[in-house]
Structure 1
């Protein structure tokens, strides 16, 4: 075993202690910065596609009267996510009654897409910018079918805009509120939805 001369041993010991101290300081800095990011950086509350589909299904069937003239009943929604457009697509069955002032009823299926927004007053997820992509009435053809499609699409877009699809539970947001975070952007992502939670400074 090689023994260093006494002056060199005294010189090496402080250098080693400085290396240890520097490593501890760097580790502490990493922890502090990581903690700050956790407190101030974005967090998300997620809703899976299956959960969203279940919540939407629970809202149906829906029956609405439009201008005291037409009854529209919607049922059996089938949900698909469109992350590339930050929208959700839904196909559902419909029944349109009291058409042209008589008792006839027209059944079919409609496909629509819509954006989503977070409503702070009741922590709900609501439809916005509703667009009817297709309104199929198998029993009709020609000009009557075109008129029914235009009318049905107008009624559906009007009645479903701002429709509540899902409501976050208080416990979903309480922990974020304790950290000073608030709901931000609502995104459609592969597999579900994400509500971003950010600090007021963001």
Structure 2
């Protein structure tokens, strides 16, 4: 009679047969930021920076005479205020401006929200914190700063920070939803419920 224990290879095959190969390999190998044991997902600042950079440049016309554009976004995280911060290069062009286009930098802060139908983490109610323009002074600077702030807020409202696929949010027969969103110093953590 053979009383040898099964080899590691045969144990692995038996376990895969019992649990199903797809359930054993798919969700955990590809989802490094997901922690299904603590029911949370953490997206690093670098991951989010790479994702938002793909969505720029963006531009919008204002009052049919100004074209406002944003490029080169830099994501920051404000854990104390539980807000995301975004700094971008701003361009304002208009036939009414002697020196067109006008360049500058805008810094925004934003709350975050999860949009369930599209499975996306988005900026919500961004607020212009600082806007600096180069080569413009006085009343012209004030007007352009107002235009730049309004359009930058419109351009960033609803901007996607992270998209989730149905496969990422499904383990076995359980499909998770996103709950609370917490901004940390080096990433954004979402609760899986």
> Same-fold call, TM > 0.5?
yes
Q: How far is 1:123 from its partner?
A: 0.8
- The equivalent residue for 1:151 is 147
- The equivalent residue for 1:167 is 163
Matches of 1:45 and 1:99 in 2, distance apart? 48
- The equivalent residue for 1:72 is 68
Q: How far is 1:85 from its partner?
A: 0.7
- The equivalent residue for 2:106 is 110
Given that residues 69 and 101 in structure 1 are in contact (C-alpha distance below 8 angstroms), is that contact kept between their aligned partners in structure 2?
no
3-state SS, counterpart of residue 141 of structure 2: helix
Matches of 1:53 and 1:42 in 2, distance apart? 25
Quote the RMSD (CA, aligned, Å): 2.4
Given that residues 59 and 165 in structure 1 are in contact (C-alpha distance below 8 angstroms), is that contact kept between their aligned partners in structure 2?
no
1:73-152 maps to which residues of 2 (within 5 A)? 73-98=69-94, 100=96, 104-152=100-148
Q: What 5-or-longer segments of structure 2 have no aligned partner?
A: 1-34
Q: How far is 1:72 from its partner?
A: 1.3
Q: How far is 1:138 from its partner?
A: 1.4
Matches of 2:95 and 2:157 in 1, distance apart? 22
Q: How far is 1:180 from its partner?
A: 5.5
Given that residues 63 and 72 in structure 1 are in contact (C-alpha distance below 8 angstroms), is that contact kept between their aligned partners in structure 2?
yes
Q: Is the deviation greater in 51-60 or in 62-71? A: 62-71
3-state SS, counterpart of residue 170 of structure 1: coil
Matches of 2:161 and 2:98 in 1, distance apart? 32
Query: Larger Rg: 1 or 2?
Result: 1
Give the 3 Å change call, closer, same or farther, for CA 99–172 of structure 1 in structure 2: farther
Q: Paired residue for 2:191, among 184, 189, 196? A: 196
Q: How far is 1:162 from its partner?
A: 1.3
Matches of 1:102 and 1:144 in 2, distance apart? 11
Q: What CA deviation, in whole Å up to 9, does each residue of 1:154-188 have, x standing for no partner? A: 1111232112222113332112x833542211221
Give the 3 Å change call, closer, same or farther, for CA 80–178 of structure 1 in structure 2: same
Q: How far is 1:106 from its partner?
A: 0.9
Matches of 2:73 and 2:51 in 1, distance apart? 11
- The equivalent residue for 1:186 is 181
